[in-house]
Amino acid sequence: MTTLVFLEHHDGELQKGSLGVLAKATSFGGDVAGVVIGSGVHELAEHAGRFGASTVYVADDAALDAPLPQPRVDVLAALVRDHAFANILFAASVLAADVAAGLAARVEAGLNWDLVDVLEQDGGLVGKRPALGDSVVVDVGWSTEPRLALFRSGTFDPVESGGTAQVESVPVQLEEHSQLATMVERAHAESEGPNLEEAEIIVAGGRGLGGPENFGLVEDLARALGGAVGATRAVVDAGWYPYSTQIGQTGKTVSPKLYIACGVSGAIQHKVGMQSSGTIVAINKDPNAPIFEFADLGVVGDLHTIVPKLTELVQQRRGS
């Protein structure tokens, strides 16, 4: 069984989510290949060998510089035509979701999305997909090959195996209709500190902060710890913080080593996005808040008093 993993990259770096999916793929029997598509990406392909790919296909062409989906579908469709991949796996992102859906349509393959795990069974795969508001996990399958799967972001951690990959260039032939869309402008959200999905420490703020002006408390603690800031849907809906920081069922799935929730009630829709964090610390004034049912460490009290003190202590420790 040969598995191909779509290795997404931005700003010269392979995405952690794709490398995590690569690590998962190495747990099946059979060969694991990766594909890197872009312009000036040969080095990235070699790098992928350290994370478990035995072969990395590279489509390197100036026409692939912009992260647009259709040209990537062309490259993948040609690879599928020339190689008998049993599985093609993607880590969810805006780009990967478009590429996976486009490829499924182009090669008439089945795509299961929003998966949180996959197991090898009787020579095939069984995907695990949360349903009914994440209250159950259902088994999903495929009736034909290649099996296409899109995994929730942050589902698997990358594992550095230290291997090397055989890097194979593939010819780039783009369909006319795939080149009709062009990238007019790229903008980056201004942010300091680590990216939310990749952060090892996240400090999340909820409605308990009382207003957008108090997000500074959460930001100060995150900065002191070298972490990223997350938010609940209640606060992003209220316009207190950007949507890009929302964690949960309709936001991002994260799995940092440490998650500090400040004034977050711990609703199920928030929990599903952060429950696989290593250590969960909750600061909440209500001892009956649901978050205490799954927090590893709970502090009952007013966050406006506790969070600044905690920040000060962290700064003192780091300074000493």
Decide whether 126 or 234 has the Cβ nearer to ligand FAD. Answer: 234
CA angle 32, 81, 50 (to 5 degrees): 20
Under rule CB under 6 A, how many of the chain's residues touch ligand FAD? 28
Q: Is 313 helix (H, G, I), strand (E, B) or coil?
A: helix
Q: Which of 145, 171, 188 is nearest to 37 (CA)?
A: 171
Tell me which residue has tokens 């369909």.
Answer: 175
If binding is defined by CB under 6 A, does position 253 make contact with ligand FAD? no
Comparing C-alpha atoms, which of 139, 84, 91, 140 is closest to residue 107? 84
For ligand FAD, the nearest residue by Cβ is 248
Element (H, E) at 114: strand 111-115
Q: How far is the CB of 54 from ligand FAD (least distance, A)?
A: 37
**Interface residue with ligand FAD, options 34, 154, 248, 298 (CB under 6 A):** 248
Given a contact cutoff of 8 angstroms between Cβ atoms, the answer to whether 101 and 86 are in contact is: no
Residues contacting 145, CB < 8 A, separation 6+: 84, 85, 86, 87, 109
Q: Does 299 bind ligand FAD (CB under 6 A)?
A: no
Stretch that binds ligand FAD, among 94-102, 151-159, 175-183, 227-235 (CB under 6 A): 227-235
Does residue 275 bind ligand FAD (CB under 6 A)?
Answer: no
Q: How far is the CB of 196 from ligand FAD (least distance, A)?
A: 13
Judged by CB under 6 A, does residue 289 bind ligand FAD?
A: yes
Residues whose CB falls within 8 Å of the CB of residue 186, separated by 6 or more in sequence, listed in order: none
Question: Is residue 294 part of the contact set for ligand FAD (CB under 6 A)?
Answer: no
What tokens appear for 175 in the block?
């369909």
* Residue 269 binds to ligand FAD (criterion: CB under 6 A): yes
Question: Does 304 interact with ligand FAD (rule: CB under 6 A)?
Answer: yes
φ, ψ of residue 20 to 5 degrees: the values are -65, -40
In the complex, the smallest distance separating the C-beta of residue 233 from ligand FAD, rounded to whole angstroms, is 3
Position among 207, 276, 294, 314 found at the interface with ligand FAD (CB under 6 A): 207
Q: Which residues bind ligand FAD (CB under 6 A)?
A: 206-208, 232-235, 246-251, 263-265, 267, 269-270, 273, 283-286, 289, 302-304
